[in-house]
Amino acid sequence: MTIHIDHHPDQNHAGDEIVEKNQGNVKEQETEHVLDGGFVAPHTNSFGHTFRDYDAESGRRRSVEDFYRTNHIGQTVDFVKRMREAYGKLNRTEMSIWECCELLNEFIDESDPDLDEPQIEHLLQTAEAIRKDYPDEDWLHLTGLIHDLGKVLLHPSFGELPQWAVVGDTYPVGCAFDESIVHHKYFKENPDYDNPSYNTKYGIYTEGCGLDNVFMSWGHDDYMYLVAKENETTLPSASLFIIRYHSFYALHKSEAYKHLMNNEDRENMKWLKVFNKYDLYSKSKFRINVEEVKPYYLSLINKYFPGKLKW
């Protein structure tokens, strides 16, 4: 049975109230942030720096910048179309959601300045933080668990794509690259940068066309969205929106590209802003007991997905 967002208490104003509550309750202290339902998040990441600080001196600063240079050069309209065509066939393998979670244990995201733990740790940290603050929204708990599963594209059985084609912030291609995108300067080396069909505000799109009609840079977000949608998940549209756009920081942090959104996007955006805080601030050295929480998440997987999925 599909769970709809409008079942949330006081849904007519839920998103707005959540945002207002967050603005009033998020307290910047010396060492921590306090989010919606009392989740205490660290003020600094695993390396002792503020979150998403791409200029902070750390052991990963140079590698992260090198990653984005390669990413910004390679993510073209042609590349994105080819990847969506190839991976949209979902003919690589069949496996369950939990099997996919376990595959991620061996990978670390080279684009992330905040974390160097295996991905399964981050997935469970995110899901458990949401579960604590939103106990009745089980679809959101599961979204926290699966939002990064598209990173299996790094695995040899999925073609072992390079990290620049799997992780990192996402953004539209086919229109001008907004200056709010991290390490924007490297787009000047992208073949689409000087293409008059692609380098204007709207490019190949129109006002309010809807993000579903926009080509996003290829990576784990778009891939997991395709997997969930084509395997006929019963998760609500807000969940699919979160999965597809959770790395679209130019939109949900800087409010770029809002001119491409339609009404459904704006409604779903309320939930993405809720989710994003947990996706970002739950990154820490705190370890989750996987075996302890596994039965709960297996029950959610069985509720919203078939036993085996095509990938």
Domain boundary assignment for the chain = 35-310
55 annotated ligand-binding residue: no
Report the alpha-carbon angle 146-147-153, nearest 5: 90
Determine what percent of the chain is predicted with pLDDT higher than 70. 75
Q: How many CA atoms lie within 13 A of 27 on its CB side?
A: 10
Return the pLDDT at 104: 84
Q: Give me the pLDDT at residue 279, please.
A: 86
169 marked among binding-site residues: yes
Burial 45-70 (b: 16+ CB within 10 A, else e): bbbebebeeeebebebbeebeebbeb
Q: What is the mean pLDDT of the chain?
A: 83
Residue 148 assigned to a binding site: yes
| Distance from C-alpha of 14 to C-alpha of 55, rounded to nearest angstrom | 36
- Residue 291, marked binder: no
DSSP 58: S
Per-residue model confidence (pLDDT) at position 59? 55
CB 36 within 8 A of CB 25: yes
Does residue 131 carry a pLDDT above 70?
Answer: yes
User: Is residue 192 annotated as involved in ligand binding?
Assistant: no
Q: Is 52 annotated as belonging to a binding site?
A: yes
Q: Is 184 annotated as a binding residue?
A: no
Is 247 among the annotated ligand-binding positions?
Answer: yes
24 is in an annotated binding site: no
> What is the Cα–Cα distance from 309 to 153, expressed in whole angstroms?
15
Those residues with Cβ within 8 angstroms of residue 103's Cβ, 6 or more apart along the chain or in another chain: 95, 152, 155
State yes or no: 220 annotated in a binding site. Answer: yes
Q: CB under 8 Å to 143, separation ≥6 — which residues? A: 130, 235, 239, 242, 243, 275
Q: pTM of this prediction?
A: 0.80
- Band (43; pLDDT cuts 50, 70, 90): very low
CB neighbour class for 24 (10 Å; exposed up to 12, middle 13-18, buried from 19): exposed
Residue 174, annotated ligand binder? no
- 94: enclosing H helix or E strand: strand 94-95
Q: Is 111 annotated as a binding residue?
A: yes
Contact 64, 111 (CB under 8 A): yes
CA distance 197 to 189: 17
Q: Is 282 annotated as a binding residue?
A: no
46 known member of a binding site: no
pLDDT at 13 (0 to 100): 36
Average of per-residue pLDDT across 192-207: 98
Q: How do residues 156-199 score in pLDDT, each as one tens digit?
A: 989 899 999 999 999 999 999 999 999 999 999 999 999 999 99
